[in-house]
Amino acid sequence: MTTPRTTRPPVEELSRRYRAISPPDSSVAMGFSARLNLLWDLAGVVPGQLDGRVLAILALNPEWRETDIRRWLQQDVLPARPVLRSMVHFLVAELGEEHDPLRWEAFLVYGAPIVSSPLEHLLYRADSGRREIAARIIARLTERFRIPPSSYDAAALFQHCLRLMQQFNIYEWQDFQAGHLELFHNLLFAPAQTAAPGGGERPADTPWLPDEKAGFPLPSGGPGENTVGPGKE
């Protein structure tokens, strides 16, 4: 921990040090143009960089100069802060309410790792949502079919459930319908109740999951056998 100074240099010395500092050029930010073009790409309100983007942006606000727009998009030159802020608010409004204009503005100016990408933040939130749904699916299955925790590997089962969700286009909780219960039970748990991988009886106390290489095999059965699974219609 840094302790505060008990004595300070004379004001004249501090003034000399301050004047000796060479401030960086605040009008240029490395990588700004690439990040700004990314935001324009995502908003989708003007053509691509090679299809007349500069003139299209100029048409949005004729008060801007073409040379300035080219500097913003190609030479990492920052617009005046009020111009940048209004531009960011306009573009972010096209992306949706989940996007934060101030976060985007900071990202455009400073970039990663100082300010992480707003897209990474949204992807993390989306992934967290899928994981929550997977946990709810597993909880419902284990309760519905009275599956003891000792009969499966929770971490591996969780990953299998996430893959199945992707295969069956389950991205929100309401996508998981009543008909999915038996299907997910068969794909995740039922094989463990029949035989061990490779044949033979499976010890009752041995956790097991469907073999990925086997394509999540379904248990064999009689006329009531469920034949619906990934890759089958």
122-167 pLDDT per residue, tens: 666 666 777 888 888 988 888 888 888 778 788 888 888 888 888 8
- Domain-located, residue 36: yes
Domain match, 52 and 100 both: yes
Residue 194: CA count within 13 A, CB half-sphere: 16
Six token digits for residue 21: 């500092």
- Domain-located, residue 132: yes
**Residues 6+ away with beta carbon under 8 Å from 189:** 141, 145, 147, 151, 152
- Domain-located, residue 222: no
Domain match, 207 and 131 both: yes
**Which residue, of 61, 86, 116, is where some domain finishes?**
116
Structural contact between residues 217 and 180, judged by C-beta atoms closer than 8 angstroms: no
Domain match, 89 and 171 both: no
Counted domains in the chain:
2
**Which residue, of 116, 137, 172, is where some domain finishes?**
116
| pLDDT band at residue 26 under the 50/70/90 scheme | low
- Domain-located, residue 89: yes
Mean pLDDT of 209-232: 37
Q: What separation, in Å, do the N-terminal and C-terminal C-alpha atoms of the chain show?
A: 65
* Element housing 59 (H / E): helix 53-60
- Domain-located, residue 139: yes
- pLDDT for 168: 86
Domain match, 129 and 187 both: yes
Q: What is the pLDDT of the chain when averaged over all its residues?
A: 77
Q: Rounded to whole angstroms, how far apart are CA atoms 27 and 77?
A: 6
Structural contact between residues 107 and 88, judged by C-beta atoms closer than 8 angstroms: no
Query: Domain residues for 58?
Result: 32-116
- pLDDT for 106: 94
Q: Using only C-alpha atoms, what is the Rg of the chain?
A: 29
Q: Rounded to whole angstroms, how far apart are CA atoms 45 and 52?
A: 12
